[in-house]
């Protein structure tokens, strides 16, 4: 662990994928699960929604002075314009996968970094966008994937780092963004707060 004089990082997310990405990049951090009302506001696009939710999650974290908080939220923009969060049940997951089948969709992750220092506290937000091309899926493929449980808890009802990887024809943009945290962007933002990997 870093010395007490060094800034400390708090990840305001229970997502194991975000934790794995930060660990992979060499960061030391603690985790605190935070929640936000994920309903879409009128007129809100994918970037605005992802950034707003990332900020809400970061601001909901309880942190002491000297701690830097990282919040993130991922939204999938389906080809029909619908913004897809996490599926509410298996039927919803199958519906989302049918929307993505045979099409290109966008994955947007909003990132928020804030200082918990009340006197010098500052907040920075940004977003990363990646285009993902999915092959055409049969009803049977969708049903088997949903039955396996992997879509639950994932924006757009799929995990690119999981079994759904076999359906991804191409991506344009940051792969780690689709997993749940755009690492290059997050590292740059954290460096501005004095948080560096080991």
Q: Using one digit for the tens of pLDDT, what is the confidence trace for 3-40?
A: 444 569 999 998 999 999 999 999 999 999 987 888 88
The count of domains in the chain is 1
106 sits in which H/E element: strand 104-115
pLDDT tens sequence across 99-145: 999 999 999 999 999 998 755 678 999 999 999 999 999 999 999 99
**Does the residue 179 lie in any domain?**
yes
Residue of 124, 105, 99 lying closest to 193 (CA atoms): 124
Res 189 pLDDT > 80: yes
**Does the residue 1 lie in any domain?**
no
Cα 27-76-51 angle, rounded to 5 deg? 55
Q: Percent of the chain scored above 90 by pLDDT? A: 82
Residue of 172, 163, 177, 175 lying closest to 104 (CA atoms): 172
Contact between 198 and 28 under an 8 Å Cβ cutoff? The reply is yes
What is the pTM for the complete model shown? 0.91
Quote the tokens at residue 9: 């990082």
**Does the residue 198 lie in any domain?**
no
Which residues are annotated as catalytic? 73
**Residue 20, domain CATH:** 3.90.950.10
**Does the residue 197 lie in any domain?**
no
Is 38 buried (19+), middle (13-18) or exposed (0-12) by CB count in 10 A? middle
Residue pointed to by tokens 């870093």: 2
Range of the structural domain that residue 40 is part of:
8-191
């Amino acid at each position: 662990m870093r010395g007490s004089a060094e800034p400390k990082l708090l990840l305001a997310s229970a997502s194991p994928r975000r934790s794995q990405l930060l660990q992979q990049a060499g960061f030391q951090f603690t985790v605190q699960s935070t929640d936000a009302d994920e309903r879409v506001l009128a007129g809100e696009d994918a970037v605005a929604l992802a950034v707003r939710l990332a900020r809400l999650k970061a601001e909901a974290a309880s942190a002491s002075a000297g701690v830097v908080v990282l919040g993130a939220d991922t939204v999938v923009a389906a080809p029909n314009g619908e913004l897809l969060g996490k599926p509410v049940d298996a039927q919803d997951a199958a519906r989302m996968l049918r929307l993505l089948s045979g099409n290109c969709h966008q994955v947007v992750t909003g990132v928020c970094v804030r200082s918990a220092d009340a006197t010098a506290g500052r907040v920075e937000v940004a977003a990363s966008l990646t285009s993902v091309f999915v092959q055409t899926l049969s009803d049977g493929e969708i049903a088997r994937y949903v039955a396996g449980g992997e879509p639950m808890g994932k924006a757009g009802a799929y995990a690119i780092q999981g079994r759904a990887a076999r359906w991804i024809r191409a991506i344009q943009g940051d792969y780690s963004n689709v997993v749940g945290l755009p690492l290059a962007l997050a590292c740059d933002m954290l460096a501005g707060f004095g948080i560096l990997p080991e």
